């Protein structure tokens, strides 16, 4: 293929995947509201859009897919809501800050493998289906793009010309940076186990039985990554910025309309993308039964695993109380960071011992 054809294919695939994730973001908000309602024994959105089904013998009609149009109703509300710009803000930075939170979330999609080698309508996708497949530094790319999201948060607070907003921006950036350290060290575990920073190689290293998933070979790393991911997303119980006991809603307090909506669009999009990342790094990615014979099943396995992690995040929000801010920072610096450093060192030592053959007598003793 010529460079032009490669670029055109990347644009088409990127448009399709981005559109799917943006649509998924809208319905993730509906999933959260419906699942929270179910967990808390209440009703949830059930008015905006449904299919009426008559009951036998008359009586009140049944509502199929009740609330299915709620995301569209929310979008219309945000589009038509008055979008005010406070006086004396830094207008350029104030406008760019919401974009700096959404754009990194979309860019991270570029390296996520959604299926193995596959042929779609005569187009061959090798070595796996992604917008930019085969990138040898994909994990480093993800860490770099994740770090850019901090700028959107802190600049939104600074540009708003409000003491509440800038305090919220500083607290949010401190939280994100604190947990990025543990997150970055934990990401090194699958890199060492697969001996590659290519996400496709990491998925292939987990092929075969589900016991080959890195979550079973390194459960501590998977747990630390998930906790760091929740803090990075500022999801409950780490959502101190929008807690009821706070004086304001953090760095976004001076935003309204669609610019306000972009911050929460970024949050839900990152929920989907971070779920995809933890699936790829620790839960086998698109691997699953019969995926070698039917590569298209890889898409189904990825969507199913992502859906499970979205439900777990919502379940946690419904179940756990928020931390105090000192508890939140203490968990990041005093617990997760030492655990991730210790786990990284132990893993590296055991990998070297295994490669040098020094563990062979012990493996023979256990019949491995």
What is the tally of structural domains in the chain? Answer: 1
Q: What is the per-residue DSSP string for 202-260?
A: HHHTT-SSGGGSHHHH-HHHHHHHHHHHHHHHT-TTS-GGG-TTSSS-GGGTT--HHHH
Do the domain assignments include residue 37? no
Residue 96 has which token pair? 């760019």
Exposed, middle or buried: residue 217 (CB in 10 Å: 0-12, 13-18, 19+)? middle
So what's the pLDDT on residue 123?
A: 81
Neighbours of 326 (CB within 10 A): 8
So what's the pLDDT on residue 57?
A: 66
User: Could you tell me the residue range of the domain that residue 319 belongs to?
Assistant: 3-21+86-365
Give the CA-trace dihedral at 200, 206, 210, 212, to 10 degrees.
-170
CA distance 67 to 362: 58
- Average pLDDT over every residue of 175-195: 92
- Average pLDDT over every residue of 158-165: 89
| Percent over 90 (pLDDT), the chain | 45
Q: Could you tell me the pLDDT band of residue 183, with boundaries at 50, 70 and 90? A: very high
So what's the pLDDT on residue 86?
A: 87
Could you tell me the sign of the dihedral formed by the alpha carbons of 249, 236, 258, 265, in that order?
positive
pLDDT at 368 over 70: no
Neighbours of 78 (CB within 10 A): 18
Q: Could you tell me the pLDDT band of residue 163, with boundaries at 50, 70 and 90? A: confident
Query: Could you read off the pLDDT of 289-343 as tens digits, one per residue?
Result: 999 889 899 999 999 999 999 999 999 999 988 888 889 899 999 999 999 999 9
Do the domain assignments include residue 66? no
Do the domain assignments include residue 149? yes
Pairing verdict, β 51-53 and 62-64 = antiparallel
Q: Could you tell me the pLDDT band of residue 32, with boundaries at 50, 70 and 90? A: very high
Do the domain assignments include residue 33? no
CA distance 288 to 301: 7
Query: Could you read off the pLDDT of 118-155 as tens digits, one per residue?
Result: 988 778 888 899 998 888 999 999 999 988 888 898 99
CA distance 19 to 106: 10
Q: Could you tell me the pLDDT band of residue 282, with boundaries at 50, 70 and 90? A: very high
The reported pTM is 0.92
Q: Which residue has the higher pLDDT, 197 or 122?
A: 197
So what's the pLDDT on residue 208?
A: 85
CA distance 33 to 37: 6
So what's the pLDDT on residue 248?
A: 65
The helix or strand, by DSSP H or E, that contains position 264, with its residue range, turns out to be: helix 257-282
| Percent over 70 (pLDDT), the chain | 96
Residue 170: closest CA among 150, 149, 184: 150
Do the domain assignments include residue 78? no
- Average pLDDT over every residue of 190-213: 93
Query: Could you read off the pLDDT of 237-271 as tens digits, one per residue?
Result: 888 777 655 656 678 888 988 888 888 888 899 99
Do the domain assignments include residue 79? no
Do the domain assignments include residue 269? yes
- Average pLDDT over every residue of 1-6: 76
């Amino acid at each position: 293929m010529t460079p032009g054809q490669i670029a055109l294919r990347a644009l088409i695939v990127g448009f399709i995947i981005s559109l799917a994730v943006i649509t998924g973001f809208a319905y993730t908000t509906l999933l959260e509201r419906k699942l929270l309602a179910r967990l808390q024994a209440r009703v949830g959105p059930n008015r905006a859009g449904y299919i009426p089904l008559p009951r036998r013998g008359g009586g009140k009609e049944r509502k199929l897919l009740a609330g299915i149009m709620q995301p569209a109703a929310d979008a219309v509300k945000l589009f038509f809501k008055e979008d005010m710009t406070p006086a004396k803000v830094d207008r350029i930075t104030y406008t760019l800050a919401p974009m700096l939170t959404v754009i990194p979330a979309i860019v991270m999609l570029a390296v996520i493998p959604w299926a193995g080698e596959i042929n779609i309508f005569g187009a061959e996708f090798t070595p796996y289906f992604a917008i930019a497949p085969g990138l040898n530094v994909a994990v480093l790319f993800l860490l770099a793009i994740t770090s850019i999201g901090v700028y959107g948060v802190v600049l939104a607070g600074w540009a708003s010309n409000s003491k509440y907003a800038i305090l919220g921006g500083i607290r949010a950036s401190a939280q994100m940076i604190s947990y990025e350290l543990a997150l970055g060290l934990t990401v090194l575990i699958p890199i060492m186990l697969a001996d590659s920073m290519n996400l496709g190689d990491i998925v292939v290293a987990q092929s075969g039985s589900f016991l080959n998933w890195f979550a079973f070979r390194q459960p501590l790393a998977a747990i630390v990554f998930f906790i760091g991911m929740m803090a990075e997303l500022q999801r409950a119980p780490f959502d101190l910025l929008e807690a009821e006991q706070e004086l304001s809603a953090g760095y976004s307090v001076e935003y309204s309309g669609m610019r306000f909506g972009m911050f929460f669009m970024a949050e839900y999009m990152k929920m989907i993308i971070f779920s995809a990342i933890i699936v790829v790094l620790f839960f086998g990615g698109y691997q699953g039964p019969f995926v070698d014979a039917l590569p298209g099943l890889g898409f189904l396995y990825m969507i199913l695993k992502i859906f499970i992690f979205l439900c777990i995040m919502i379940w946690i929000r419904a179940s756990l109380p928020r931390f105090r801010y000192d508890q939140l920072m203490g968990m990041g610096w005093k617990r997760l960071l030492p655990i991730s450093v210790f786990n990284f060192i132990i893993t590296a030592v055991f990998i070297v011992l295994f490669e040098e053959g020094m563990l062979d007598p012990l493996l023979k003793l256990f019949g491995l």
